[in-house]
Structure 1
Amino acid sequence: MFDKLMAAQQKADEIKKRLDTISVFGEVEGGAIRVTATANKAITAVEISDEFHKQADKEELEELLLTAINKALTQADQVSATEMQAATKDMFGGLGGMFGQ
């Protein structure tokens, strides 16, 4: 049983490492603001086009930046959930023997 729990922990660590390598994006205003994050929800880049930056006021820029960040984090949640769902299916298949199945 302990071996199976250790294997499950190792699988979870592998998933976390893989999620660090997956990039997700949130864009607003046709790409005028683009936020890049990992599937582990770490923001890795924020890009604002020069043209948009010159025209936008502070309040608009802040509001759109929040929207882009939230879009990126939502995408990260979706990717993470998909990866975890696949791993959970694998783990429960492997752990089924622990529960007499």
Structure 2
Amino acid sequence: MTDVLPKEVLEGLELARKRDLKKRSRLRVKVGDATYPILRTWDNGFALDRDNADHLRGLVDVFDGSKHLYQALIVASKEEDHEMSFEFKRATCATDKPPLDYDRPDDAPVALLPR
């Protein structure tokens, strides 16, 4: 079927497909002040639009809307069609409280009540 369609039509279809993937996905990669929409994800990586993300590597933050999911160390793995695939070297889940330096007993008080 691709042999029959003109090059301009194929490029238009690819642009429409990318635009649809970007609208559907809430997942984003943030590097410094720049933010890139994630097109698709899998267990140990994700794919971005190749046009604006072929230079990414190192430490990034992954968000679902405004919720910080994890901080990851990434490396570019392969290029296919109009996507650049990245793999996680390390992915650490983001939490909203600091880690404890000790084991907290199960019967520890939750809060201090004033007298």
TM-score by length of 2: 0.26
**Structure index of larger Rg:** 2
Q: Which has the higher strand share?
A: 2
Q: Which has the higher contact order (CA 8 A, sep 6+)?
A: 1
Bigger proportion of residues as helix: 1
TM-score by length of 1: 0.29
